[in-house]
Structure 1
Amino acid sequence: MIRGKVRRSQLVAPFGPGAMQVLADGTSVITCGLDHWFVPGEKLDQEEFRIREWRLESHLGVDALYTPPDYRDHSKSSPGQYNTKLNVPVLRFPSWNFCPRCRALTPQPLNTAQRPRCTNPDCTKQKASWAPFLAQVPFVALCERGHLQDFPWLEWVHKSAHPKCGSDKLKLRTSGGGTLASQRVVCEACHSERGLEGITSVERPDREREQETTYLTARLEEGTEFSCSGAMPWLGLEAGAGTCGQPLRGSLRGASNVYYALVKSSIFIPEASSAGADPRVLEALEEQTIARARANLRDVLEDGEILTPSRLRRAAKKNAFRLENFTDAQIESALAILEGPAEASSQQPATGTDDNPARFRHEEYTTIRDAIDSAELVVKEPEGDRAKDVAELVSRVRLVEKLRETRVLWGFNRIFAESSAQDTATRTALLRRTTPEASESWLPAYTVLGEGIYLELSPQALAKWEAASPVQNRLVPMAQRFQSVAHDRHLTQRAVTPRLVLLHTLAHLLINQLTFECGYSSASLRERLYDSPGTDGMNGLLIYTAAGDSEGTLGGLVRMGKPERFEEVLRNAITNARWCSSDPVCMDSQGQGPDSCNLAACHSCALLPETACEEFNRFLDRGLVAGTLDNPGLGFFSSLE
């Protein structure tokens, strides 16, 4: 039986439905769709895995969010134990294999449970007491719409979409080189032979044709395009099950562009003020047994009925002792916070994942910029005054002592990391084979507890700075390059503004500086940008821990937000930004980094690990933060010494 272990959070990203991974025994598997993650049964209590995040549920248009299940064995001491023997199913993919000894290519079913052995009678090891294990081929084929299939070995070697040779006696031979040109597939029946050089490349058939195609689609058979068939093996739909028609591209199965998880995140903010709601009551109501009783009550309540403390005590039965130290008034106030958002969100129309992200962030922005003390979010104002020169540029700093981030997988891409807004429903549909019934839609998610520092730039100073002509003119090349990329990939157009570039670059510089000041690695910190145009628009950023455990983090990052420490971090970050080890080449660059959408930003000064950045390490420029070599006063923080 093929089995493996993986952290539950990794089943959201990077090993969600449709993603491949290699198990400890070397078997390559693909994670199945959401249809079979929670198999209905007598001892299934799916509510135990429920994550309550009312804003994300409404924004993504789903009824619930659940963490991936964990595996539990039956316990003899607990015969009534729930949620045992749950696992996330996988299928063996690619299904084509080759023998390391005789190099024979053979297909195997997706649901093969054991490692197959070579059955070729001509294999030299067949004469021994055992046959060698088959190894899975290192190549697959995929398209931009998210489909994935086995590499078309038969069609490729015979140079025909419908080969006339009826033999499937193929061999994958190698000359020992490290390139695709050294890999050749051979048909022993008709002696056809063909190398794999070029199968991963893209080409444009002629200058007049704008639409790119792939070498595999255009060259498999001369005069005929061999397109994607819409295969989705993670859903049990093999090649030929559909008609996609997109260009098909060959790829190594372990290439980074085979799977890009599309994750939406949210900082939890309470629907109502925590005033009047004891945090201890909120914690008790979120406890597993009480949360299950609340869920059971919601299923039987009729329209217009509300969940009352007395009903909850009766439904909790033997677990009601968890509520006995609290009055009905305390429980009622806490229920208004926990149950109210779900009801309100169900009445709001689904906005879609890419529909006005600034509006979605604005709710966090208005909450986190002020002090708040709740069960899931604690924000405080630091004590003490900031230096005058810093206060003129940074108008607000907040210490986020506790936060809860929820990350939800709502789809995935292949080949390119981003998709257009028009593809939102299509990407979500890739996660499951059948459309869920009404009120049963859900997505996988997990939560992270952490801490952070929020800062906000002075609106007056920012408005004056971003209106300057030199600032506007510097970003023209960057904006034009992104418009070209967005047009080629059918991405949603967006404005590349000085405010966005300033906030984004400042976040990167601070994260790089904080790794030296408080000991966190850059991969353990994340940025969250709050940006919208206008004097009254958002102009803040949040730097927070992204790798906290169930107990959160230790406060090292929050400590750096206190005035005396924050000023030192900010000054050091600006000082370091004035000179890069790659200067003057870096500072004078007119386009570098991903899609050439950066100016003065490289790996030596401003880039971060991809997990820490919201914008794929694009829209960065140290010149707008600290000034350029030719114009030292160009930067927003040029006056800061």
Structure 2
Amino acid sequence: MANRNTSRPHGQTRRSQIITTFGPGSMMDLPDHSVLIGGLDHWTGDKQEIVEPRLLEKLEKTLDLGQLQMFAPPHDLGDPTQPKTGIVAWQFPEWFITQDAIVDPDEKSKIRSRRLVHRSALTSGRFIDDNRKRQNVVPIRFVRACRNGHIGDIDWYPFVHESLDSECKRPLWIDELDTSGDISSIIVRCECTKDRPLKEAVGYVSKALGKCDGGRPWLGPYANERCDQISRLLIRTASNAYFSQKMSVISLPKRNETVSKAVDQAWQFLEIAQSIEDVGYERRRTQVKSVIEDFTDEEIWGEIEARRGGTGTEKSVKQAEIETLVAAKDGLGNDKPDGDFFARALPRAHWDQPWMKDIVRVVLVHRLREVVAQIGFTRFEASTPDIEGELDIGVNRAAIAREMSWVPAIENRGEGVFIQFSKNAVDSWAARSDVQAYGRKLLNGFDVWKDEHTTSKREFPGLPFIMLHSFSHLLVTSMSLECGYPASSIRERIYAIPEIGYGVLLYTGSPDAEGTLGGLIQSGRKIHDHTRQALEYGELCSNDPVCANHDPENAHERRFLHGAACHGCLLISETSCEQFNDYLDRNLVVPTLEGAGVEFFIDGS
């Protein structure tokens, strides 16, 4: 990664982190200063194209672009004789505070004062005070930003003087009333005797920092745009400073070869079908039923339309994936060293136990390729794909380039385990009156959250999704103890599509390797043991009875998207969870101290 004004790299980071954590518009701390990662227009060097037609089609629709490409972030060639490659980073913020604090011995509170200085007042990266002493400085940790992703330095003089017309330019100080670093104990002071507590800049409705100027410094000079938002205080290193908006797909075998072969065998009957209803009618024939019994009418009709040159009904990201995973009766894909997908169903005899009675299939995904692309970012509040893996077109995301012609992407190769739940069992459970009544409590909590987040496009995912999501988190914890991967390396994909089916895919992958070592597959062969252990974990939490009895509407706890869920039981690393640890409730999975009686696994042990 290179500074704007020099070709010498100032730091390095993993290519996968560029997509997730340090993408365009994010802030990164370097040894001497902090930088803002530049937009795609400022990336240099040859880029490796990543091909994944299904993801590309979705991104083109989301961005409303006719032609788009995906490229991996540029990598360091490691050869000093070759042209430099990398990503331009702009120094940000431009305000610093001195590291040497002045403590007044006469003050009982021991106020610590540090000089607040602009970059233009530095000499060789240091500040020379009135005593000609050279002082080290560090970037100020407070900046201003808005919900549209714009960011900039705080105008400290107007802030402390509470006026845009003030002409005072005397030295500024940051006074800390204690050593906690809490905002409530920080005062910004000018030597003209004016001062102002920094906490006055905190909050959704505070206008202390003025109106946003639409600054997009990561895109380079003159990149500002109109903005009607009010600037808000942002801590550079806070977790809400940057949320990469990503979309990912699992690479699937081309045009589902198993469906194509099935249609081939029954083509003499299926070629006359003119609608999906005709497929259902032809299915009654013995010659047809025996061939296509593992596939839905939608899958067969889609193959028929594809053969006739039609586009068929567009499938969501997860719909296409679950259709492929449930089709893995014996084997699916190619077991080749460079293959993208290969899966085998694990015979039921290997995992058939009483507590597994509502699970109909376990698929070991030996080879898996996931492609992840970034199309923008948000600040203050994350914007996640919906439960079908689709990005919300209406999200007001910040741009990562002046003109979008390509997006950064990475490919992860690894392995996974897919668990398919009985559709009839899940639907019957969700239709129970007691489950519906309990679900209204979760919906009420979501409604309270929605009232506070009026700009959010998120929808209530439904009880089957919450149940599967909670089960997935318990299973991640259970499998991580034995599979050789930490829980933070195991990711999930929840499939809750009533028309197709229900399932959970746990997988792991690495962008810097050709695959993984098979630890997850080996654990998948004992999925019944891990499932039982997961269900036992869910029955009792170290925070019970507070956790089990949590009411989602509780304004004091402010966990509106949780039922019985906390850090002691269900919450896991956010790198693993596709919904940022929202929509969780173990009451829907197993019996707890709450005694709600709405658990899916009635015989949990």
TM-score normalised by the chain length of structure 1: 0.74
Residue 106 (structure 1) shift: 3.4
Q: Who is 2:63 aligned against?
A: none
SS at match of 2:199: coil
1:93 is aligned to 2:92: yes
Distance 2:322 2:486 in 1: 26
Distance 1:91 1:359 in 2: 38
Alpha-carbon deviations, 1:75-95, whole Å to 9, x = none?
66xxxx7xx411101011001
Alpha-carbon deviations, 1:511-559, whole Å to 9, x = none?
11111232321101011011123xx333111001144641211111112
1:197 is aligned to 2:199: yes
Q: Who is 1:70 aligned against?
A: 75
1:590 is aligned to 2:551: yes
Distance 2:225 2:249 in 1: 36
Alpha-carbon deviations, 1:337-384, whole Å to 9, x = none?
xxxxxxx9xx999x9xxxx9x822111111122231232001101145
Q: Who is 1:257 aligned against?
A: 240
Change (3 A) 1:135 1:580: closer
2:38 to 29, 32, 54: 32
Alignment-mate amino acid for residue 366 of structure 1: E
2:345 to 381, 395, 405: 381
Q: Who is 1:639 aligned against?
A: 603
CA RMSD of aligned residues (A): 3.0
Distance 1:612 1:273 in 2: 28
Distance 1:368 1:502 in 2: 20
Residue 488 (structure 1) shift: 3.2
Change (3 A) 1:197 1:631: closer
Residue 480 (structure 1) shift: 2.0
SS at match of 1:198: helix
Alignment-mate amino acid for residue 525 of structure 1: I
Structure 1: which 5+ residue stretches go unaligned? 39-43, 126-130, 203-212, 221-225, 276-343
Change (3 A) 1:391 1:602: closer
2:322 to 354, 357, 365: 365
Is the 1:626–1:632 Cα contact (8 Å) retained in structure 2? no
1:454 to 414, 418, 443: 418
SS at match of 1:140: strand
**Range moving further from structure 2, 400-409 or 547-556:** 547-556
Alignment-mate amino acid for residue 213 of structure 2: S
Distance 2:394 2:13 in 1: 28
Alignment-mate amino acid for residue 553 of structure 1: T
Alignment-mate amino acid for residue 35 of structure 1: D
Distance 2:118 2:248 in 1: 40
**Range moving further from structure 2, 64-73 or 171-180:** 171-180
1:11 is aligned to 2:14: no
Q: 5 Å matches for 1:294-443?
A: 359-369=316-326, 370=328, 371-374=331-334, 375-383=339-347, 385=349, 386-387=351-352, 389-390=354-355, 392-418=357-383, 424=394, 426-427=396-397, 430-432=399-401, 434-436=402-404, 441-443=405-407
Change (3 A) 1:588 1:105: closer
Q: Who is 1:567 aligned against?
A: 528
Q: Who is 1:557 aligned against?
A: 520
Residue 465 (structure 1) shift: 1.2
Q: Who is 1:507 aligned against?
A: 472
Residue 631 (structure 1) shift: 4.3
Is the 1:413–1:419 Cα contact (8 Å) retained in structure 2? no
1:483 to 418, 443, 447: 447
Residue 633 (structure 1) shift: 5.0
1:156 is aligned to 2:159: yes
Alignment-mate amino acid for residue 453 of structure 1: V
Alpha-carbon deviations, 1:170-211, whole Å to 9, x = none?
3334445423344333333x4422231332233xxxxxxxxx
Distance 2:57 2:132 in 1: 61
Distance 2:538 2:98 in 1: 54
Q: Who is 1:116 aligned against?
A: 125
Change (3 A) 1:267 1:422: closer
Relative to its length, the structure with more helix (as a share) is 1
Alignment-mate amino acid for residue 266 of structure 1: V
Distance 1:619 1:265 in 2: 20
Q: Who is 1:444 aligned against?
A: 408
SS at match of 2:371: strand
Residue 391 (structure 1) shift: 5.2
Is the 1:31–1:90 Cα contact (8 Å) retained in structure 2? yes
Residue 29 (structure 1) shift: 0.7
Change (3 A) 1:18 1:348: farther
Residue 246 (structure 1) shift: 1.0
Distance 1:9 1:29 in 2: 19
Alignment-mate amino acid for residue 194 of structure 2: S
Is the 1:58–1:348 Cα contact (8 Å) retained in structure 2? no
Is the 1:99–1:135 Cα contact (8 Å) retained in structure 2? yes
Change (3 A) 1:377 1:549: same
Alignment-mate amino acid for residue 108 of structure 1: R
Distance 2:451 2:588 in 1: 26
Change (3 A) 1:498 1:115: farther
Distance 1:610 1:494 in 2: 20
2:541 to 574, 580, 600: 580
Residue 272 (structure 1) shift: 3.5
Distance 1:58 1:396 in 2: 30
Alignment-mate amino acid for residue 67 of structure 1: A
Distance 2:497 2:161 in 1: 56
Distance 1:435 1:153 in 2: 33
1:616 to 574, 580, 589: 580
What is the number of equivalent residue pairs in this alignment? 512
Q: Who is 1:186 aligned against?
A: 189
Is the 2:448–2:560 Cα contact (8 Å) retained in structure 1? no
Distance 1:606 1:244 in 2: 39
Q: Who is 1:147 aligned against?
A: 150
Residue 63 (structure 1) shift: 1.4
Alignment-mate amino acid for residue 105 of structure 1: L
Change (3 A) 1:589 1:171: closer
Change (3 A) 1:73 1:560: closer
Q: Who is 1:271 aligned against?
A: 254
SS at match of 2:346: coil
Q: 5 Å matches for 1:202-213?
A: 202=204, 213=205
Change (3 A) 1:424 1:445: farther
SS at match of 1:589: coil
SS at match of 1:580: coil
Question: What percentage of aligned pairs have identical amino acids?
Answer: 32
Q: Who is 2:173 aligned against?
A: 171
TM-score normalised by the chain length of structure 2: 0.78
Change (3 A) 1:45 1:628: closer
Q: Who is 1:314 aligned against?
A: none
Change (3 A) 1:408 1:124: same
SS at match of 1:257: coil
Residue 424 (structure 1) shift: 4.8
Is the 1:526–1:612 Cα contact (8 Å) retained in structure 2? yes
Q: Who is 1:332 aligned against?
A: none
Is the 1:18–1:32 Cα contact (8 Å) retained in structure 2? yes
Alignment-mate amino acid for residue 561 of structure 1: G
